[in-house]
Amino acid sequence: MEDVLDLYAEPYKSWQPVVCFDERPCQLVADTREPLPRQPGRARRVDYEYERHGMCNAFVLLQPLAGWREMKVTERRTKQDFALVMRELVDVYFPHAEKIRVVLDNLNTHTPASLYAAFPPEEARRLVHKLDFHYTPKHASWLNMAEIEFSIMVRQCLKRRIPTQTTLTAELAAYTATRNATKSTIRWLFDVQQARTKLSRLYPQLS
């Protein structure tokens, strides 16, 4: 825990960016009847019946101090999907960084081994050399600021029925473009001293 909190306390470093990474399932749902449009004094009305069109996955990359984020929609969240996002993080978004510090949870696909499963050893090693993984403790994924971004995204973008992966991709692209244009940052206030005080029960008790 303190490892992640120390990382959040560091000043902004363009050559060593801190990027929070997370993923969430998204259910695809379509209307069975065309909603009735808004009218003066009356909200848009939606029928209670709907059709399920399956599930997909959304990845988020968030640089909290720079006010930058990117979201990727995929069919699944396999080791290969994770590896492809990490390669894009290195080669597309931060090609000139010395090291990219990535905050992520302990999901079994979030490991350097996923890169070796997806790419030849030389390519996997090149990416691993540029990435520095910092894991949140088990049952403490709330320490990952990417969860805050997902919460905002759900409230602003997903509180309605989205029928297809293509539509979801377009909606999330519009959402990230708006948030990035305003450089919306996240102000993190929980630090190591607060953790030692408020979460003292989690620390070993010295006799």
Residue 159 · residue 129 · CB < 8 Å: no
Q: Kindly give, in sequence order, each residue whose CB lies less than 8 Å from that of residue 90, ignoring residues fewer than 6 positions away.
A: 97, 100, 127, 130, 131
pTM: 0.87
What is the rounded (10 degree) CA torsion for 82, 83, 86, 92? -120
Q: Look at strands 50-63 and 68-74 and give their pairing.
A: antiparallel
The pLDDT score that the predictor gives to residue 46 is: 66
HEC string of 147-162? HHHHHHHHHHHCCCCC
How does residue 138 score in pLDDT terms, banded at 50, 70 and 90?
confident
By C-alpha distance, which of 196, 192, 194 is closest to 6? 192
For residue 77, give the amino acid letter. Answer: R
Domain ranges of the chain: 2-32+45-200
Distance CA 129, CA 205 (A): 37
Question: Which CATH superfamily does the domain covering 2-32+45-200 fall into?
Answer: Ribonuclease H-like superfamily/Ribonuclease H (3.30.420.10)
By C-alpha distance, which of 38, 40, 125 is closest to 87? 125
Q: What is the pLDDT of residues 34-92, one digit of tens each?
A: 666 777 877 766 666 767 778 999 999 999 999 999 999 999 999 999 999 999 999 99
The pLDDT score that the predictor gives to residue 99 is: 97
pLDDT of 193 higher than 80: yes
How does residue 1 score in pLDDT terms, banded at 50, 70 and 90?
confident
